[in-house]
Every structure is written in C-alpha cells, then in structure tokens.
Amino acid sequence: MSKALGHAQTLLGRHSLAIASITVFGQRHAHLTYRLRRVLGVGPMKVVAATFLVMLAAGCSSDGRELAQPEDWQTTTTRPAPPTSALAEEVSTSGVLLSSPQFQPGADIPIESTCAGANMFPTLEWSTVPAGTAEVALTLSDQTNSEEPVLIWLMAGIDPNRGSVESGVLPNGAVETLNDYGNPGYGTPCLEELAGQRDLQFRLYVLDVPSGIQPGDPGNTSWDTLRSSAAESASLLARITGQG
C-alpha cells in the first residue's frame, strides 16, 4: 500500500504542471468544457479527470527519445496577436473613404460596440460617393483568420446621400440580414481569450443598381451579392484587444 501511495505521489509531482494547465484551461475555456459535458453527458469533474488521464498517459509513455528544449516563444503565457491581411483602411477607386468619429483606423472598437457593452454598431461616415450611385451597404466581418472570415453584420439599402449611419440606429429604407451566428442584425463581437486580439473590418459597398437584399435574408448569400455587384468599396479596420 505504501509503495502504491509513494508511486502516486511521484506521478502527481511529475505532472503538477499538467494539473495546473488543466485548471487554467478550465478557467479560460469554460465554454468548451460546457460543450464537452453536453457531448459526453458527464459532470465537470469527469471532464477534468478524463483530460488529466490522457495527459498522464502521454507523459508516462516513452519511445526512448529525449524531448527538445522549448523555444522562448513556446513558453510565453501571452498568446501573440494572430496575423491578418486586413489593412487599417482602404480608400475606394474613386476616393470614397469610410471612417468613424468613435475610433481611429486600426484602433480598438468602442466597448459599447462589443458583447461587453450595448452591442450596437458604431457611428460610421463616408465621403461623397460617385454620381449615379443607387445604394450603399455596410458589412462587419471578423478577419482575424483572413482565410475564414466571419460575417458579424450586414446592412443594405442605405441611401448613399445620407453620408453616415448613427450608432445603433437603422436608417429609413435600410435592411439588415442574418449574420453568421444565424441572428438578424449586429452580431455580438467578443474576445473569448484574456489575451490576444480580433481584427474586425467594416466595409462600405458602392452599388450602381439596387442590391435587392431583403430583411432577414441569409447573410452569406447577401454578402456574395454585394461583393460581386459592387462598383467599388472602402474599408475600415477596428480591433478588440485582450487585457491578459
């Protein structure tokens, strides 16, 4: 019995880092633990125990090779900002500029425009559009992973001569589609991690003919319509930055 107890204490000592990592993982990724509980049909302690057993088995096995020493970047406790190909701002071919009085290009989006605040789109302004423009439309997409952008918001049918939209206010005649979360309107941009950042790109589409987009239309097909039929576009980048 004493030998078994001593062996257990030795294993726990060797894998104290794994236990600490599981604890931190559970705190920072509670939403994933919840999903595992839903899928497996077990309580939170069983999820943690299962994770620990997997890590313990991996740590105790050996193929005779020595582990390489980690690089400095592999041991950091702060997740580096993910790469993005989105520019801080893009001016359209005719010189249309998209801007906001609430933040500078590439700066943090106002907290009231995130899930931590009122979850309202910010005030957006654009310079004079070309004569003959029939409609402008606005989108907000998460470009943190530029290969898999996420549509957060799409508003179409905007009178091009109004020059702006006020925070949280749907202009007369304008419509909002579903977003990639399956909800109508503005889609709750959040930063799930304590560290890192998300890159959010607002884009103004200038159309020569009406888009025909209707309230509640699927966001992905509506976005495709704008991208394929717009005469030109301008963009404005915002960010959500973690405090970890």
pLDDT digits (tens, 9 = 90+) for 132-151: 999 999 999 999 888 889 99
pLDDT of residue 42: 42
pLDDT for 53: 41
In a domain, 74, yes or no: no
Same domain, 110 and 193: yes
27 and 142 fall within a common domain: no
Question: Averaging pLDDT over each range in 21-35, 63-77, 186-200, which range is the top one?
Answer: 186-200
Share of the chain above pLDDT 70, in %: 62
- N- to C-terminal Cα separation, the chain: 45
Q: Is residue 119 part of a domain?
A: yes
| Same domain as 158, residue 95 | yes
| Per-residue confidence (pLDDT) for residue 31, from 0 to 100 | 38
Are residues 103 and 141 both part of a single domain? yes
**Does 98 or 59 have the greater pLDDT score?**
98
Whether 93 and 200 map to the same domain: the answer is yes
Q: Do 114 and 201 sit in the same domain of this protein?
A: yes
Q: Look at the chain and report how many structural domains it folds into.
A: 2
Give CA 183 to chain center in angstroms: 16
Q: Indicate if the pLDDT at residue 108 is higher than 70.
A: yes
Task: Please check whether residues 161 and 233 belong to one and the same domain.
Answer: yes
User: Distance (Å, rounded) from C-alpha 81 to C-alpha 150?
Assistant: 18
Tell me if 75 is assigned to some domain: no
The Cα-based distances of 110 to 38, 49, 187, 241 in angstroms read: 34, 40, 15, 11
Residue 9 structural domain: 2-62
Same domain, 224 and 126: yes
- Quick one: pLDDT band at residue 73, thresholds 50, 70, 90? very low
